[in-house]
Structure 1
Amino acid sequence: MADRARELSALLSSAALVVAGGIVGSVAKLGERVVIGRLLSPDAYGEVSIGLALLTFAATFAIAGCTQGVSRFVPRYTDPADRRGVWVSGLLVAETLALALAAFLFVGAEGFAVRLFETDAAVPFLRVLAIALPVVVGFQIAVAAIRGFENTVYRTVIRDLLDPALRTGLIAFLLVLGWGIVAAGVAYLLAAVVTVVVAHLFLSRLVALRGPVRTHVRELVTFSAPLVVATMVGTLLTQTDTIMLGYFRSSAEVGLYSAAYPLASGLLVVLTAFGFLYLPIASRLDADGERDAVDDIYATTTKWVYVVTFPAFVLLAVFPADVLALVFGPAYTDAAVVLPILATGFFVSAAAGRDRETLSAFGSTSWIAIGNGIGLLLNVLVNLALIPRFGILGASVASVTSLVAVHAVICAVLAVQYDITPFSPEATRTYLVLPATILPVTALAAGWLTITPVTILPFLVGTGLCSLVVVGIAGGFEPDDVVVVDVLEDSLGRSIPLVRRWIPDARSESSLSAD
């Protein structure tokens, strides 16, 4: 019990830092999209979104699942030669693929431009992105190695602060100079060059990058090979909508969809925060034969991701037009019809917790590939059926369908093969009671409440406090939740009143069970 509490406390303490950095990073990444959307027309913003979707797809294929492999194997070795070898192995595999894909994208830029874009500037834009691809991949491998050392500070600084801030500033500067959509490509290239250097400087503080190297290419590829399909399919799940919209519909519709999508995907900020240290911790616990501890940590973190994410979900689901007008401007309010749909899909993803990382820690990466494959198949089929007729509405339905299918498969595997689920009686009450009580009240309040820069923060805070009260009254707290309160009190430097009286004491529960 003490070991489990210690691991959970370490994970939550890390998550508190990563949540703060993740919020800043998400705001910066959203700011990047807002800058592009406000300084360009919706159709030009759609063009940029298609190009960045291609870059994301190419980078994911080049990485070939090695980021998870590097993060998994680094903590399993103690010899610096092995740890350096894991990092070098990841670079060898990923950069070889990245250079090949960069050449393909550079040479084939004109073909992509004819099929997916509506402007002549697409060709130089795509070629700049092709040059940026190997640098972006090197940066991600370095971050994966830092993750393996369970260092959250370095990751937060470079990934959540430096990288998005540099890109956003460069994009704004170049757009003001009149560079058009090419500005995004140049900004991604320059930011990647800076961040890959800084990332390796940070990594060198954790392990000397010079010295004997014992590579683990075969071991890394064996683990990561199933993840090639899984991560590729996972990326296609998030990018197929954009690419297919660009093929079947106008760039302006892609721009509208690309305004709603990053807002909805922001619901994963808290989940991502827990995920940074989750994989190496779960991997280490599994190696030590402590799967019961993995089960407890997975269940506790999943419930709290649900609770913390819920107010933002309510905001996007009930006030979509207000949020779009506030963030992107009145030109994008037509996307209000799809924002609640997308928010539902991403909230389901957040509510499923770190299911994929849990399977990765156990080495069952093939099931991740199967789940993602089923989701992608549904995504493509529903997109083909609905996008030509319904446009962005069809794309949003396809996105939600695929997200739900992926997590249903992976959570089922965890439950059947490993007896791991996030559904304790207390958690189940939380999952059911919150939407049943908060959503109807908020929907009624929408008739007289408008979300503005003044009201948005009070709304989120008020909804969050009401959610905690509802969870407490419904009996949704359990003994492990005291670790969450401890971490929050340590972070705030003061005690949190009233909450502890709602949390059952582990000793009293044990005595009741014994009786």
Structure 2
Amino acid sequence: MSDRASELSALLSSAALVMVGGIVASVAKLGERVVIGRLLSPDAYGEVSIGLAMLTFTSTIALAGCTQGVSRFIPRYDSDTDRRGVWVSGLLITAGFALVISLVLFAYAETVAGMLFETPEAVIFVQLLALSLPFLVGFRIAVAGIRGYENTVFRTIVHDFLEPFLRIGLIAGLILAGMGIVAAGVAYLATAILTFVVAHLLLSRLMRLRGAFRTHARELLRFSAPLVVATVIGTMLTRTDTLMLGYFRSSYEVGMYDAAYPIAGGLLVVLSAFGFLYLPIASRLDSNGDRDAVDDIYATTTKWVYVITFPAFALLVVFPTEVIHIVFGPDYTEAAAVLPILAVGFFVSAAAGRDRETLSALGATTWIAVGNVFGLTLNVLINLVLIPRYGFMGAGVASVTSLLSVHVVVCGVLAIKYGITPLSKSATRTYVGLPVVLLPLVALASPWISISMVTLFPFLVVAGLCSLVVVGLVGGLEADDVVVLDLIEDSTGLSIPFVRGWIPDSQSVDPLSTEWTDQ
């Protein structure tokens, strides 16, 4: 098998593991929101959502784009001295930012609480989140180091299992003990400290943390500087809606919006699974001068993210009320109105693939910042116009518009400047065929379909099988897809000759290697 086929196979194999972990983590994170939403009132849930949006925003600033930098540079060095130096540089840079932000946030907690919150307990809540910030940032750097070593097992253990399940258990117990919104602050602080320690213990299994090191702070900052703007603005794109809702409207509306938001965000699970190893692999291929391989891997993974994500997208668009009732209960029925809107935005993000990571691997991080600045500007302007008048529905429209604009810019740069695009003829048939064929069919059948806890999973399975049939019938399969089929057959021990018959022979479709003609 060719080198690029091997890289694609490795990426897909890791994606299978990370996807399982990602699904578990997403369910746990959604479960965290469900626990808070069901054990507290919608108003209190809105207050917690505002606090967590603030923590996400401040931690992104403190990380200064260094997580991608650490993951990118570690695989580019061979010696432990250099690799250790990359980790140390990232840790020192982000620790400095985190401590400053933490001290300011702790000192001005009362002022922040007065601007965004409605309850007196918010001051302690904000202070607890401020204390957790340095540990959370250190944890992210450790995970970035693990990612640089392309180790999916350690990342899955600490990021997808330990962190979310520990936090959800603490939140549930502390809320039941009567701590209110403060319970979330205590849980986040305790979880950040423990996961910081565990992540570094796992990283120490990949390289000795003690020993000589050669710092790469200047190199790391040069790469990460544009990402500071890009990542901060990217976070603001997803969290500005919540913060502006908290400022202009009530905590109740924030609670409605943040009931729909994490459900729609679940559409990114598959994309995240492909993303863990994508950046270091793409970076290594680019450093070896094999940009065509980057194009192939980007195109293939993007198409399969689209195909695998589509059934869940159809579910959220056609059955929003049923999904909200299953997850959060009848108190959050109003959130069903904004769920299809948010689902469109997140599905667009999934359908664009790892476009921003591809630019990062190529070293073109400035363009990521340009796209995010453009998207954030639209987001703020639309929110200013729509939130005061339409509340969380306006926030949903602003979110979708801004996400669309970002991916138009980034994908446009990839296509025009680097000739990298997922839009082959076969892939385009997939992108058009699935929504044109399946969405109307699901909508027409919806009066006879009952979505509940029992029927939810069977619906997704049937819709997924139908998606594969549609992709095959419209001619959406390509020679590259044989790697995906091989992975499925090797993992399950089953032969899938019917689908294999739809995959064109590699000789007729710009082969990746001559060995593929024998498949």
Q: How high is the TM-score relative to the length of structure 2?
A: 0.98
Q: Show the counterpart of 1:269.
A: 269
Is 1:298 the equivalent of 2:298? yes
Q: C-alpha distance in 2, partners of 1:448/1:51? A: 41
Is 1:240 the equivalent of 2:240? yes
Q: C-alpha distance in 1, partners of 2:404/2:81? A: 42
Checking the alignment, whether the CA contact within 8 Å between 2:386 and 2:394 is kept in structure 1 is yes
Cα deviations by residue, 1:26-72 (Å, 9 ceiling, x for unpaired)? 00000000000000011100000000000000000000000000000
Cα deviations by residue, 1:353-406 (Å, 9 ceiling, x for unpaired)? 000000000100000000000000000000000000000100000000000000
1:273-352 pair list within 5 angstroms: 273-352=273-352
Q: C-alpha distance in 2, partners of 1:276/1:262? A: 20
SS in 2 for 1:437: helix
Distance 1:139 1:509, change over 3 A: closer
Q: C-alpha distance in 1, partners of 2:26/2:221? A: 31
Q: Show the counterpart of 2:437.
A: 437
Shift of 1:450: 2.1
Q: Show the counterpart of 1:10.
A: 10
Q: Show the counterpart of 1:102.
A: 102
Is 1:23 the equivalent of 2:29? no
Cα deviations by residue, 1:213-270 (Å, 9 ceiling, x for unpaired)? 1100000000000000000000000100000000000000000000000000110000
Q: Show the counterpart of 2:175.
A: 175
Shift of 1:507: 2.4
Instruction: State which drifts further: 385-394 or 105-114.
Output: 105-114
Matched AA of 2:43: D
Shift of 1:509: 4.2
Cα deviations by residue, 1:176-211 (Å, 9 ceiling, x for unpaired)? 000000000100111111111110011001000011
Cα deviations by residue, 1:280-320 (Å, 9 ceiling, x for unpaired)? 00000000000000000000000000000000000101100
Is 1:386 the equivalent of 2:386? yes
Q: Show the counterpart of 1:397.
A: 397
Shift of 1:4: 1.3
Q: Show the counterpart of 2:354.
A: 354
Matched AA of 1:250: S
Shift of 1:497: 4.1
Is 1:458 the equivalent of 2:440? no
Shift of 1:493: 2.4
Q: C-alpha distance in 1, partners of 2:81/2:509? A: 47
Percent identical: 70
Shift of 1:510: 5.7
Q: Show the counterpart of 1:129.
A: 129
Checking the alignment, whether the CA contact within 8 Å between 2:478 and 2:509 is kept in structure 1 is no
1:492-511 pair list within 5 angstroms: 492-509=492-509
Give the total of aligned pairs: 512
Cα deviations by residue, 1:72-131 (Å, 9 ceiling, x for unpaired)? 000000110100000000011000000000011101111111111110010000000000
Q: C-alpha distance in 2, partners of 1:493/1:503? A: 19
Q: C-alpha distance in 2, partners of 1:368/1:70? A: 17
SS in 2 for 1:420: coil
SS in 1 for 2:205: helix
Q: Show the counterpart of 2:517.
A: none
Distance 1:509 1:397, change over 3 A: closer
Q: C-alpha distance in 2, partners of 1:278/1:425? A: 24
Q: C-alpha distance in 1, partners of 2:491/2:131? A: 42
Q: Show the counterpart of 1:59.
A: 59
Q: C-alpha distance in 1, partners of 2:291/2:428? A: 21
Q: Show the counterpart of 1:370.
A: 370
Is 1:147 the equivalent of 2:147? yes
Q: Which runs of 5+ in 1 are unaligned?
A: none
Matched AA of 1:471: V
SS in 2 for 1:446: helix
Q: C-alpha distance in 2, partners of 1:31/1:265? A: 13
Shift of 1:496: 2.6
Q: C-alpha distance in 2, partners of 1:359/1:240? A: 24
Matched AA of 2:308: V
Is 1:228 the equivalent of 2:228? yes
Q: C-alpha distance in 2, partners of 1:215/1:480? A: 40
Matched AA of 1:81: T
Instruction: State which drifts further: 185-194 or 62-71.
Output: 185-194
Q: C-alpha distance in 2, partners of 1:27/1:251? A: 24
Cα deviations by residue, 1:115-169 (Å, 9 ceiling, x for unpaired)? 1111001000000000000000000000000000000000011001100000000
Shift of 1:333: 1.2
Matched AA of 2:472: G
Q: C-alpha distance in 1, partners of 2:463/2:84? A: 47
Q: C-alpha distance in 2, partners of 1:385/1:491? A: 51
Shift of 1:448: 2.4
Q: How high is the TM-score relative to the length of structure 1?
A: 0.98
SS in 2 for 1:447: helix
Is 1:416 the equivalent of 2:412? no
Q: Show the counterpart of 1:427.
A: 427
SS in 2 for 1:119: coil
SS in 1 for 2:375: helix
Q: Show the counterpart of 1:476.
A: 476
Shift of 1:491: 1.6
Q: C-alpha distance in 2, partners of 1:510/1:217? A: 42
Q: Show the counterpart of 1:252.
A: 252
SS in 2 for 1:502: coil
SS in 1 for 2:267: helix
Shift of 1:445: 1.4
Matched AA of 2:95: E
Q: C-alpha distance in 2, partners of 1:283/1:123? A: 44
Q: C-alpha distance in 2, partners of 1:111/1:243? A: 15
